[in-house]
Amino acid sequence: MDHWQQRIYNLAYKMIGDEAVAKDILQKTFIKVYQHLHKLEEADKFRPWVYKIAVNFCNSELRKTKRTESLTEVHAGMVSSSITSEHRVEQNELKDLIWQTLGQIPEEQKAVIIMKEYEGFKFQEIADILDISINTAKSRLYYGLRSMKKLLSENPHTKAYYYEYQ
Amino acid sequence: MNINNRQEKLIDYLYDEMNKEDRAAFEMELQADASLQKELQQMKQVRSHLQSIPDVDLREPLVIPATTPPAATHRLRWLKPFYGVAASIAALLLLGAWTGLHVEAGKGELVLAFGKSVHTRLFQMKHPLRRKSRNTWISIYRPIRSRLNRWLTPPNQRCRTGSASNKILLNRWYPINTWFSPGQ
C-alpha cells in the first residue's frame, strides 16, 4: 500500500504543486478507495481506478484554486541546501525551470504528460482514467510537449538545448 | 500524411507504442522528412528534461484502517442512542418486579414500598381518605403482581389455585417484606 501512496502523492504533487494539498488529496483518495473497494470487481483494474479517483480530486482542487504560482514557491523549496558545485546549482536551476514550465501548460495536457512520463500508463489506460478517447489523449500529450518545448526554447537558460534543432 | 495522423504517429513512435511494421514505415518517413526529424528531436529533448524532475518522498505515510469500514446503512440506526435508555428502563422494571416494588400516589402523596405494604393505624388515622385511594390502587395492582409473580415462579413451585397460597409464595420469594413491614 505504501507504493500506491507514494505514486498517488507524486501524481498529486506534480499536478497541484503543493505538498499539503497533495497529502490532502492522497488522504481523500485512500478514504474513498477503502469505502468503495468492495465495488471493484477485477483486481487488475485497481491501478487505473485509484488514479481515476486521485485525478478527479486533483481536477476539483485545481478548479477551486489556480495554483500555478505556488508551483514556483514549492519547487524552490525542493532544491537541496547542500549544493557544493556549480554544476549542481545549474542542474537544480534547470529542474526548477522545468518544474515551473510544467506548471504553465494547460491542466488537461499536464495530466496526460504526468501520467505518461512519470506513471508510465499506456494511452488506452490514460483514456480510460480521463474518460477521453485514445486520440484525444495522444493529441493532448502532443500539444503539451509542444507547449513545453515552446516555453523552454524561449527561456534564456534552456534556449541552448533547443537551438540546435531550430 | 495528414496532420492528426502525423501527431499520432510521432507520439506513438516517441513512446514506443508502435508495432514493428508501423515503426519501420515511420522511420522511412522520418528519413525523407527533415521537419519531422526536427520535431521528433525537440520532443525527445522535452522528454529528457521532464525526466530530470525527481519523485518526491512521502515522509509520513498515511495511517489507514486495515479493514474496509462497512457502509452502515441500517434502517433502525437512529435508534442506537436510545438502546442504553431502554436497557436501563428494562433493568429498573425487572428490579422493581423482583423486589416487589409498588408505588402508590394520590391525595398529594407518593408511597414507595417493597413487597406488601402495610399501613399502621397511626398512618391511617392521620389520613382517613388515603385508605380509599389505596384500596383502589390495590385492586388494580394486586392482580397484576399476582400474575407476574406466578409467571416468575418456577413451574414446580407454583401453587395451583388460591390467593392464600400465593401470599405464602409471595413471602417466600420476597422475604424483604418482613424486613420493612412495620407490623400489623
Q: Judge: A149–B46 Cβ closer than 8 Å, yes or no.
A: yes
- Among A99-103, B19-23, B41-45, B132-136, the range scoring the smallest mean pLDDT is B132-136
Highest mean pLDDT out of B23-27, B126-130, B175-179: B23-27
Q: Does B96 reside within a domain?
A: yes
In this predicted model, which residue has the larger pLDDT, B118 or B26? B26
Q: Judge: B15–A116 Cβ closer than 8 Å, yes or no.
A: yes
Q: Does B15 reside within a domain?
A: yes
A151: nearest CA partner in chain B: B46
Please give the residue range of the domain that contains residue B13.
Answer: 3-47
Q: Chain B partners of A158 at a C-beta cutoff of 8 Å?
A: 49
Residue B146's pLDDT is what? 82
Nearest CB to B62 within list A30, A95, A158: A30
User: Is B101 in the same domain as B168?
Assistant: yes
User: Is B167 in the same domain as B96?
Assistant: yes
B17: nearest CA partner in chain A: A122
Q: Judge: B8–A135 Cβ closer than 8 Å, yes or no.
A: yes
Question: Does B44 contact chain A (CB < 8 Å)?
Answer: no
pLDDT in tens, B127-174: 555 556 667 777 777 888 888 887 887 777 766 554 444 444 444 444
Domain count, chain B: 2
B65: nearest CA partner in chain A: A34
Domains in chain A, CATH or no CATH each = 1-67 (1.10.1740.10), 85-166 (1.10.10.10)
Q: Judge: A165–B4 Cβ closer than 8 Å, yes or no.
A: no
Cα angle for residues A71, A73, A77 (degrees, 5° grid): 110
- A contact test, residue of B39, B53, B60 with most A CBs within 10 A: B53
User: Is B26 in the same domain as B106?
Assistant: no
B68: nearest CA partner in chain A: A34
Residue A87's pLDDT is what? 57
Q: Judge: A152–B41 Cβ closer than 8 Å, yes or no.
A: no
Residue B11's pLDDT is what? 93
Nearest chain A Cα distance for residue B43, angstroms: 6
Residue B114's pLDDT is what? 76
Question: Does B42 contact chain A (CB < 8 Å)?
Answer: yes
Q: Judge: B58–A5 Cβ closer than 8 Å, yes or no.
A: yes
Q: Does B61 reside within a domain?
A: no
Residue A122's pLDDT is what? 92
Highest mean pLDDT out of A54-68, B79-93, B98-112, B125-139: B79-93
In this predicted model, which residue has the larger pLDDT, B51 or B151? B51
Residue A83's pLDDT is what? 40
pLDDT above 90 (res B117): no
Q: Does B60 reside within a domain?
A: no
Please answer whether residues A147 and A103 qualify as being in contact, where contact means their C-beta atoms are separated by less than 8 angstroms: no
User: Is B108 in the same domain as B165?
Assistant: yes
Residue B153's pLDDT is what? 79
pLDDT in tens, A78-97: 444 444 455 555 677 788 88
Taking the model in full, what pTM does it have?
Answer: 0.58
Q: Does B143 reside within a domain?
A: yes
Nearest CB to B52 within list A98, A116, A122: A98
User: Is B22 in the same domain as B99?
Assistant: no
Q: How much is the average pLDDT of B10-32?
A: 92
Question: Does B64 contact chain A (CB < 8 Å)?
Answer: yes
Q: Chain B partners of A142 at a C-beta cutoff of 8 Å?
A: 7-8, 10-11
Lookup result for grid cell 462497512: B70
Residue A2's pLDDT is what? 77
Q: Does B81 reside within a domain?
A: no
Q: How much is the average pLDDT of B51-55?
A: 85
Confidence of residue B96 (pLDDT cuts 50, 70, 90): confident
Lookup result for grid cell 509542444: A146
**Distance between CA atoms of residues A74 and B108, nearest Å:** 78
Nearest CB to B11 within list A10, A118, A141: A141
Residue A102 makes CB contacts below 8 A (sequence gap 6+) with: A14, A71, A110, A113, A148, B50, B53
Q: Does B85 reside within a domain?
A: no
Please answer whether residues A112 and A141 qualify as being in contact, where contact means their C-beta atoms are separated by less than 8 angstroms: yes
Instruction: List, for chain A, all residue ranges whose pLDDT scores fall below the cut of 50.
Output: 67, 70, 72, 74-84
Residue A52's pLDDT is what? 92
Residue B160's pLDDT is what? 57
Residue A164's pLDDT is what? 60
Q: Chain A partners of B15 at a C-beta cutoff of 8 Å?
A: 116, 123
User: Is B113 in the same domain as B176?
Assistant: yes
**Distance between CA atoms of residues A165 and B116, nearest Å:** 109
User: Is B104 in the same domain as B164?
Assistant: yes
CA dist A156 → A48, A153, A163, A166 (Å): 39, 8, 11, 15
Q: Does B66 reside within a domain?
A: no
Q: Judge: B49–A78 Cβ closer than 8 Å, yes or no.
A: no
